[in-house]
Amino acid sequence: MSRLTALVLAAGEGKRMRSGIPKVLHEIWGKTMVQYILDALKDITDEKPVVVVGHKAEMVKERLGQQVVYAYQQRQLGTAHAVKCAREHLSRTDGYVIILAGDIPLITADTLRQMAGECMDNGYSAVVLTAEIDDPGGYGRIVRDDDGQLREIIEDKDADQRQKAIKEINSGIYCFNIRDLLDGLDKISSNNVQGEYYLTDIIKILREKGLKVKAYKTGDATEIMGVNDRVQLARAAEVLRERIMVGLMLQGVTIIDPCNTYIDSTVAIGRDTIVYPGNTIQGQTTIGQGCIIYPNSRIADSHIGNNVKIQASVILESKVEDDTTVGPFAYLRPNSRIGQGVRIGDFVEVKNSSIGNGSKVSHLSYIGDAEIGSGVNVGCGVVVVNYDGKAKHKTTVRDKAFIGCNVNLIAPVEIKEGAYIAAGSTITHDVPEYSLAIARSRQSIKPEWVKKKMKNK
């Protein structure tokens, strides 16, 4: 099979986005627009794609890293000019190249594979991906000859009224024989309304040389939808969300209301898990089997085990193991590690801490920079006081300890195995194993004190 590489045009500013971020870096469901394209290309070629950068090139390079190689377009003079800027890379290889813009996030690997296969298997110099749409305004039109074969592509601004009536449009996605492409690039001129070098002109040039070209029509026009402003960004997000939801449901996940559930494309969820509406699940999150995610939680970059129940809580960059319940209204901040069979209850905040198997932190508590062992009971209103105004300190609570209600643990401190802390205590020193610690003043009562105070007033 002939060698296949890819060229992604990502140098434009995207003025209609009205943003300080390059257009191709705008995100949809956890990935940038250009990353969707790169992921599709990974399924059809082992070659690193060439990405043509220009506007805020360093920002694009920082985001994409080493997964691609780069060409630089200093001035944006049209699509053919962008391809010329990558000539050095293309000239090093034989075979074929797919060329597409970095703002077409809905394109799929299957469609690219079929288009490239049509070009390579049948000896075409160029194949352009097309579609028919009801409102073709703004798109280049596909002009066919009397035999129905591709003759040329006319840009919308250069089209006459007859050509504007054509509903078959250019997607901006091509597959070229690299040698034929490079030979034809220098023949492209900027003699057009926009004064730019159109890559579309090469179709006519190749045909006039007697080379074979073809328009390959896709049946799904949504795949070639470009994103030029925030409205189109939202429309693309709708399509991608449906793909994500359908994919998860076909894998055995129950999504109660897909239209009101927000799951990134990077999330993995196990079968027999139920996701209620109002949930936002983001980043590199994995959720195991048999979980129930009740409404209105946010889970980001976290690992959730099997048979976990989460209610109206926030979980960020944390790990929750099997058979644990979280919430309602719990907040697991980054680097929280919650063991098996744990109960994290309402209005509990955990930060940079581990909680061992079978422990319970049922309500109204703060656990920060702490190591809580297994089988520990943390009563209502317990606060781990981890900050002295200058630095954070660690608290350790060993297995089977019991922390009574309204206890303050002043770090650094260690509560050893099986120890009991009486309610209302403020603990500043280590507590030995199986000991009872009481750190509160003895209650005293002054009869009639209030009446005397009021009388003095």
Residues acting as catalytic residues: 363
In which element (H, E) is residue 336 found?
none
Spatial CA neighbour of 176 closest among 111, 108, 83, 109: 83
Main-chain phi, psi angles of 429, to 5 degrees: -130, 160
Give CA separation, 350 vs 307, 313, 361, in Å.
21, 12, 10
Centre a 10 Å sphere on the Cβ of residue 364 and count the other Cβ atoms it contains. Answer: 18
Spatial CA neighbour of 365 closest among 357, 374, 376, 375: 376
Residue with tokens 């955990």: 350
Using CA atoms, how far apart are residues 241 and 248, in angstroms rounded to an integer? 11
- Tally of helices (H runs) and strands (E runs) in the chain: 10, 41
Using CA atoms, how far apart are residues 319 and 265, in angstroms rounded to an integer? 20
Using CA atoms, how far apart are residues 330 and 327, in angstroms rounded to an integer? 5
Centre a 10 Å sphere on the Cβ of residue 457 and count the other Cβ atoms it contains. Answer: 4
Q: What is the DSSP string of 104-158?
A: -TT--HHHHHHHHHHHHHTT-SEEEEEEE-S--TTSPEEEE-TTS-EEEEE-GGG
Is beta strand 141-144 parallel, antiparallel or unpaired with respect to 150-154?
antiparallel
Structure tokens at 294: 């009740």
Q: How far apart are the first and last CA of the chain?
A: 98
119 and 213 Cβ atoms separated by less than 8 Å: no
Using CA atoms, how far apart are residues 448 and 321, in angstroms rounded to an integer? 55
Residue with tokens 């009971």: 377
170 and 142 Cβ atoms separated by less than 8 Å: yes
Query: What type of residue is 114?
Result: Q
Stated length of the chain: 457
Using CA atoms, how far apart are residues 451 and 457, in angstroms rounded to an integer? 10
**Ramachandran quadrant class, 294 (left: phi over 0; alpha: psi -120 to 50; beta: rest):** beta
Is beta strand 168-177 parallel, antiparallel or unpaired with respect to 126-132?
antiparallel
98 and 118 Cβ atoms separated by less than 8 Å: no
